Amino acid sequence: MQNGIPSYRIMDIEPVGDHVFFASNEGLFNVNKQTTFKTTITPEIYFTAVDVDFKNQELLPAYNLSHNQNSIKIAFNTNGFKSHEHTKYQYRLIGENDKWQTTEDLVNTVNYNGLPSGNSTFQVKIANSNSTVKCIEFNIAKPFWRTWWFYALVVLILASLLYAFYRRKINKL
């Protein structure tokens, strides 16, 4: 008898009600479906780390970053013993690329180097499952030289220089 089974030479299997009957060379035996077969639990995905410019950050649902904090590494995993060995992930960065991408085996991190300014949302889920999608939002501020007030200041300075140049020319004449 191995693992409660009299023989592994199974000739026929028949589920009846709460029992599964096996016909083998040792005779007929059955097991209770409720106590023998475990229901599979969909693994839950969670974030394990967020690094900004190679510095580990506190895990938050959203990050407001300056324009030079645009190198981001995101690590994630699933619950369960050795689950990362058997799980592939799909991820995307909405605002940058809306298409789902799939990780390789044993890969549970994503790196983004030089993200542009603006709002983006990182989403990750377990590939080929109905698992929930986990999200982290990133808001990377524009550099000061790409803001409206900087453009207005440059236009004002150029207009002042142009006015001073023509005023000087008129005074010379």
- Count of beta carbons in the 10 Å neighbourhood of residue 65: 17
CA distances from 72 to 4, 65, 68, 81, 116 (A): 52, 11, 11, 27, 11
Q: Give average pLDDT by consecutive 10-residue segment, the chain, 173 residues.
A: 65 87 84 74 86 94 93 89 72 91 90 91 89 93 81 88 89 83
Token pair, residue 58, equals 């506190």
pLDDT in tens, 105-132: 888 999 999 888 899 999 999 888 778 8
Q: Is the pTM of this model over 0.85?
A: no
